[in-house]
Amino acid sequence: MKKNIRFTLIIFILIMLFTYPVFSFEITQNEAIEDLDHLYNRIEEVHPNIYFHQSEEKAQNKISKIKDELKTKEKWSDIELYRLFSPFVASFKDGHTGLLIWGQFNQFYNNGGQIFPFDIKIIDDEVLIYKNYTDNKINKGTKLLAINDISIDDIINTFRNSISSENVGFSNAKIERNFPIYLWIHYNFKNNSYNIKLKDNIKSYQLEVIGVSQDQRTKNSEENERENWSLDFPIEGTAYLTINTFDGSLIDEFKKDIDLYFEEINNKNIEGLFIDISENGGGNTDLAKYLFEYIYDKPYNLFKEVRIKHSKYAAKQSFDFLTNAYYNLRKNEDGLVIFKSDKSKPKELENRFDGNVYVVVSNYTFSTAVDFAAMVKDHDAGVIMGENTGGLPSTYGDIIRDKLPNSKLGLGISYKYFLRPAGFDNGKPLLVDEKIDVNELKYWYNDSRYKNMIIKSIIYKRRCSA
């Protein structure tokens, strides 16, 4: 049912960058209020259950306060409106429903704009320098304490307040991936200059740095482009399959490679298969199902239930004439079309894996990647290890896109609800069976060492329990 999702973190960023390539400009107070009304009405119309986290009364009170704020100025820029509107959209706590301003950033960045010259990691509530695009020597593990006399805690809280996410873990993941961009959006630092306060194992100190352009970041980046998926054999008797995306546009390539991977796994008589989706932001459930059938040979559910909100806007944007006619007959008084899922029978596979399966997840695991992990957990097809997922196993998803009429800010809204195979929704991330600090391991160790440590953690626990 998620065939149209292209929601890896990387793909989501690209969509936001290129779908709404508008220029930054100002609009009048009345136009800004019109945009706010449009935003609220569209979310109410399209979303299957927008008040699942906060009440309608609280939402309307927030709208009233925003309107009062809008009346304090005659002119508003699109970036100012994003800063004002995004916390309201984020308050609904749906990671697939959000306000988008990345077109404005794209126009700035692609034309030589310069941004903060570091990427960061958030580990144990501390912000660490991760990638350094300057010529300054900064030790691994150095903490970022402040930028231009603003504490890093205040900066992170500002970002979190505007990020649509179901939990802190996923908002942290989005901040890590987009820290320089969020800094550009929320803070108007003059002269592209940053006075940063740092602390390493020896001392606290300050450093003056300037921003870097897209060309400079690319030139100074030592990291190769991340593979969509890969297979290797780090320790004898084990295979490590990394799946970084379930992007539906790659389905033919995915199926071909997965077939070859499992043929190789079968030929090597592997006992333990590790499937790492810790960097997978989602995609198309057809890919997730294809992979799942290589590790599970019984009838299974992808979801227990799917609910679709059949609104006028969704009908116009997403459905053909026959589908609209069918949904009009089936929808209930709330506009919901509800499908109960039948079990799927897996196809016959010569190289289906029948050993021990371990699925590695993290805060970066979202959308369809969480669906895959939930299938594994709810069908007892393997062990889930790592950190609790950024996305939820029972969640709202599939996105209808719109833009505000005057500011042209982008808007994405969930119009479906997916109930996990086990048939319950506790509002929590997918809980792991074996806790491992995936994010921290990736910060401190290279890819090879990371995989070895993941595998050895299971080997060690087996020996201890024997």
pLDDT in tens, 392-437: 999 999 999 999 999 999 999 999 999 999 999 999 999 999 999 9
With bands split at pLDDT 50, 70 and 90, how would you rate the model's confidence at 308?
very high
Question: Pairing mode, if any, of strands 238-243 and 204-210?
Answer: unpaired
**Looking at 63, 85, 109, which one is the last position of a domain?**
109
- Pairwise pLDDT comparison (372 vs 7), residue with the higher score: 372
Contacts of 244 (CB under 8 A, 6+ apart): 8, 226, 227, 228, 229, 277, 279, 280
Task: Please identify which residue in the block is written with the tokens 């019109």.
Answer: 34
- Render the burial of 382-410: b for 16+ CB within 10 Å, e for the rest: bbbbbbbbbbbbbbbbbbbebbbebbbbb
For residue 27, the surrounding DSSP H or E stretch is strand 26-28
pLDDT surpasses 50 at 23: no
In a domain, residue 222? The reply is: no
Q: 36 with 70: CB under 8 angstroms?
A: yes
Q: 354 with 262: CB under 8 angstroms?
A: no
- Pairwise pLDDT comparison (132 vs 23), residue with the higher score: 132
Tell me the mean pLDDT in the region 260-270. Answer: 95
**For residue 249, what is the DSSP state?**
G
In a domain, residue 1? The reply is: no
Do residues 237 and 88 share a domain?
A: no
Do residues 267 and 395 share a domain?
A: yes
* Mean pLDDT of the chain, nearest integer: 91
pLDDT surpasses 80 at 6: no
pLDDT of residue 188: 80
Do residues 302 and 425 share a domain?
A: yes
Do residues 237 and 126 share a domain?
A: no
Alpha helices in 272-320 (DSSP H): 285-292, 312-318
- Which one, of 116, 49, 62, lies nearest residue 427 by Cα? 49
Q: Kindly state the tokens that stand for 402.
A: 């719109």
pLDDT of residue 250: 97
In a domain, residue 3? The reply is: no
Q: 389 with 370: CB under 8 angstroms?
A: yes
Helix axes 285-292, 251-267, angle to 10 degrees: 10
Select the highest-mean-pLDDT range: 24-33, 74-83, 162-171. Answer: 74-83
- Counted domains in the chain: 3
Amino acid identity of 288? A
Helix axes 9-19, 168-186, angle to 10 degrees: 30
Do residues 264 and 353 share a domain?
A: yes
pLDDT of residue 59: 97
In a domain, residue 244? The reply is: yes
Percent of the chain with pLDDT over 90: 83
Do residues 291 and 381 share a domain?
A: yes
Q: State if pTM tops 0.85.
A: yes
Do residues 434 and 321 share a domain?
A: yes
Q: 228 with 244: CB under 8 angstroms?
A: yes
Do residues 179 and 256 share a domain?
A: no
In a domain, residue 141? The reply is: yes
Rounded distance between C-alpha atoms, residue 387 and residue 390, angstroms: 9
89 burial class (0-12, 13-18, 19+ CB within 10 angstroms)? buried
Tell me the mean pLDDT in the region 276-283. Answer: 96
In a domain, residue 360? The reply is: yes
- The CATH number of whichever domain residue 164 belongs to comes to 2.30.42.10
For residue 10, the surrounding DSSP H or E stretch is helix 9-19
**Looking at 152, 187, 212, which one is the last position of a domain?**
212
In a domain, residue 404? The reply is: no
Do residues 179 and 280 share a domain?
A: no
For residue 159, the surrounding DSSP H or E stretch is helix 152-162
Do residues 170 and 307 share a domain?
A: no
What is the maximum alpha-carbon separation in the chain? 72
Amino acid identity of 110? N
Percent of the chain with pLDDT over 70: 92
Rounded distance between C-alpha atoms, residue 106 and residue 18, angstroms: 8
- Which one, of 136, 83, 137, 23, lies nearest residue 408 by Cα? 23
Residue by residue, DSSP assigns 262-284 as HHHHHHTT-SEEEEE-TT---B-
In a domain, residue 146? The reply is: yes
With bands split at pLDDT 50, 70 and 90, how would you rate the model's confidence at 269?
confident
Do residues 67 and 94 share a domain?
A: yes
Q: pLDDT digits over 103-156, tens only?
A: 888 888 988 899 999 999 999 999 999 999 999 999 999 999 999 999 999 999
Do residues 62 and 196 share a domain?
A: no
308: domain range? 229-399+416-465
With bands split at pLDDT 50, 70 and 90, how would you rate the model's confidence at 195?
very high
Give the least confident one: 18-22, 24-28, 146-150, 161-165.
Answer: 18-22
Select the highest-mean-pLDDT range: 51-60, 162-171, 212-221. Answer: 51-60
**For residue 96, what is the DSSP state?**
T
**Looking at 183, 212, 241, which one is the last position of a domain?**
212
Alpha carbon distance, N-terminus to C-terminus of the chain: 42
**Within a 13 Å sphere around the CA of 220, how many CA atoms are in the beta-carbon half?**
16
Q: Kindly state the tokens that stand for 54.
A: 């906060």
With bands split at pLDDT 50, 70 and 90, how would you rate the model's confidence at 175?
very high
